[in-house]
Structure 1
Amino acid sequence: MSLVKELYEPYVLAARARVATEPVMRRVVDPAISPELLERFLLQYHALGVYIAEPLEGWNRRAGHRSLLLSLDTLGKSLLAHAKQASGLAQTMTEDVQVLVRRWNQRFQPVLHTERLLSQYPTDAMRSYRRLVEETLTGEFPSAQIAIEFESTLLTQMMGPHLLANVTRVLGREALEGLCALKAQSQPDAPRAVNQTRLMEELVRAMPENARTFAELSAEALELQLRFIEDCLESAEASLGTPVSASVA
C-alpha cells in the first residue's frame, strides 16, 4: 500500500472534501453562471495566480538545497530536478492572461489591460500562502514544500476538468484557447503531476513519522487556495458592479 495513502492522506481528506462542497467551487462550475462573470473570474484566477506561481522554481530549489544540508540527499536532488519543471508555469499563466484580455476586449466593456491585471495587489489569502511556504522553507521540514505543492496541484486536478467543461458550455469551445496552464495542470498524467506524486512518496518514505505534520501543513495551504479562488470570484463580481455590455460588432 502507498505510504502516502496510509500515513498522510487520512489527515488531509477532510480538507480535500471541501473542494466539492465550498459554495465558490459550485458556483464556478454552475452552467447558470453568466458568461461575463465566468470570463472575469478566469481573468482574475490567472492574473492573480501569477503571484503564487512566480516563486515556484525558487521555492523548490531552496527546499532542495536545505534538504541536502539536512542529509536528505534523495529528496534534495529530486527537488532540484523538480524546480526546472516548475519554471514555466508563471509565464504560461501570463500568456493566458494576454489571450483572455484580448478575448474580453473583443466582446465586452470596459476595456481591460494585461499590465494592470497582473499588477493587482495580492489578497490576504495570497500573501498568507506565500508566507506559509516561506516559513516552511526556513523551518524544521523544508521538504514539506513537496506536500504543499502536491495538494495545490491536486486541487487543480479536482477542479480543472469541471471548470473547463463549464467554460465549454457557457463560453464555447473557442474560450479554451486562453487556458493553457489550467488545461495542463488538470491532467493527472502530466509529467509534472506524475513527478509530484513520486516526490510525495519519497517524502513520506524518508520521514514517515512526520506524515501527519506534512498533511496538516498542506491542509492549511489548501484552505488558503480555496480562499484565493473565493477572492477571485468576489473581485470578478465587484468589477461587474455596473452592468457590463457586450461590444457591438
Structure 2
Amino acid sequence: MAEEIPEALPEAVPAEQVELATGTYDGPSGPSGPSPTVASAKPPGGKPPLRVVQGGRNPPADLPAAGPRTAAPPARPPRAPKKAVARTPEDEYQDFLAMLREEGATGEVVAAGERLSLAPYAKAAEARAEIGAPPGTQGLHLFPDAVGKHIPGFKKDAALVLLEPRAINTEMDAGWKLAFQRMQAEGRATATAWEVHNAVSESIGAAAHLSPGVKASLQLRLQDEMFIELGLDPAQELILPYANFYKPKP
C-alpha cells in the first residue's frame, strides 16, 4: 500500500526519470525482512520530486519528521456567578453626592438628620425578612396614601417607606389625622399641598419614639416626595381623607 507525500501523483512518470534505491532496514530489534523501496520521481515541469514509500514500518530517516500531536484543550468550566454585594447606606449616600455634582452642585454638602434605610412599600415584606425585623414591623408611608390616592402619578406600592413597629406608625399618623379632622369640622373638603405637608411634618416631629435626627430626615424626605417626585404645587388643593372622621354632635 502506497502513501503519497506531499502531493498527488502525476498522471505519468517516464521510467527513465525514476530511480530506485534499496537497502537494508533495521527495525527496533534488528533486520526485519524485505527492505523498503524508495522511489524518487522527477516529473516534468520543474515541480519538486515526488517521494513514494513502499513497505516497511518506519519512514526513511531523510523524511521530514511529523510535528507533535496536540490534544484539544479541555473545556473551561463555567465561571461561578458573582455573589451580589448588599449596598449600604454609605453607598447610597455617595451615589446621592455624585448626583448632586453631576447636576452642578459645588462646595461642601451639609447633611441634616440621620441616614435612613427605606424600601419600596411593595418590597416591605422582603425587606423585613432580610433584616430580621420583629413581628409587628410595618412599612410607614410619609406622605399619607389616603391623600395620595387622589393624585395622578401617585403609586402606593412604589412609595419609599420606613420599617418601624406598629406603635411608631400610630404616633406618626396621629397628629395629621387630628389636623385633618379639625379642617373637616370647619366644613372644608380640601387643603393646600403646603397645609398637608405642614400637618404631616408636625405629626412626624411629635412622634415620641423617634430620634431628632430621624425626624429631620423623614421631614426632608416628605418634602422631596411631595414637591419634587410628585411635582405638587404648594398652593394646589388636595382632597382631605377620611371625611367620616368628623361627625358633628347633634
**In which range does the TM-score fall when normalised by the shorter chain?**
under 0.3
Greater helix share, structure number: 1
Structure 1 or 2: more strand by fraction: 2
- TM-score (ref. length: structure 1): 0.25
Rg bigger for which structure?
2
Q: Which structure has the higher relative contact order (CA within 8 Å, separation 6+)?
A: 1
